[in-house]
Amino acid sequence: MRVGVSYFREDKLRPYLDAIGAAGLEPEPISPGRRRDLEGLRGLVLTGGGDVDPALYGAEPHALTKHVFPERDQLERELIEQAERMDLPILGICRGLQILNVARRGTLHQHVEGHRDLEHAVAPEPESKIAAFVGTEDYSVNSRHHQAVDRLGYGLIVTARAEDGIVEALEDPERRFLVAVQWHPEDRLATRDFRIFSAFAKAVLK
């Protein structure tokens, strides 16, 4: 089964393609310069990257907001809308979590300290999908972001937080599979993180 994989920089794409392929799916890269829709595809993965344009949630740019590409924001919002209309499984990773929240009319903290280029614990909420994947005990994740969820978008619930309260996972319990994590499971396929891709694949194959 083929699934769409949004991206902006081709040199950052390979880990996502490998993770999706390892889960038994065929990734179809989508970027502003390539294919732009989900026709014939069975799911959507939103990958990491630069900052979401704060204009989308009515904010002025922070001094440390950078690598903003409005064409990517527009494309991914269109893909999210299409995937939701088609009831396709959606998996968001790092920036993917952030654009999902903004697409649901949420907002972001444009800069937070202590979450870039390190590992830290997250606490999954019991009964959540992410807890089913990685367990309910504190789970160590690889963190490399400086933006984070502020006001939650409609229909979304927080399913994991870091020790400082930063949102680390979201899902929409009313959809068959809409899960997003703030860390990078594509880089840790030998850990329980691979279960995130396996669960996404299972939802795609239903």
Residue 14 has pLDDT above 70, yes or no: yes
What is the pLDDT at residue 98? 98
DSSP class of residue 165 equals: -
When computed from its CA atoms, the radius of gyration of the chain, rounded to whole angstroms, is 15
Q: Which residues, in sequence order, are bridge partners of residue 171?
A: 157, 179
Read off the pLDDT of residues 115-150 as tens digits, 9 standing for 90 and up: 888 899 999 999 999 999 999 888 999 999 999 999
Distance from C-alpha of 158 to C-alpha of 67, rounded to nearest angstrom: 26
Q: What is the mean pLDDT of residues 12-35?
A: 94
Read off the amino acid at residue 187. D
Per the model's pLDDT, the better-predicted residue between 156 and 118 turns out to be: 156
Q: Known catalytic residues?
A: 94, 184, 186
Distance from C-alpha of 29 to C-alpha of 64, rounded to nearest angstrom: 29
% helix, strand, coil for the chain, step of 5: 30, 25, 45
CA dihedral 5, 68, 171, 104 (to 10 degrees): -110
Read off the pLDDT of residues 30-61 as tens digits, 9 standing for 90 and up: 999 876 789 999 999 999 999 999 999 999 99
Cα 107 to Cα 10, 29, 100, 122, 203, distances in angstroms? 27, 27, 10, 21, 28
What is the pLDDT at residue 137? 86
Read off the amino acid at residue 44. L
Read off the pLDDT of residues 69-114 as tens digits, 9 standing for 90 and up: 999 999 999 999 999 999 999 999 999 999 999 999 999 999 998 8
What is the pLDDT at residue 35? 67
| Residue ranges of domains in the chain, CATH in brackets | 2-205 (3.40.50.880)
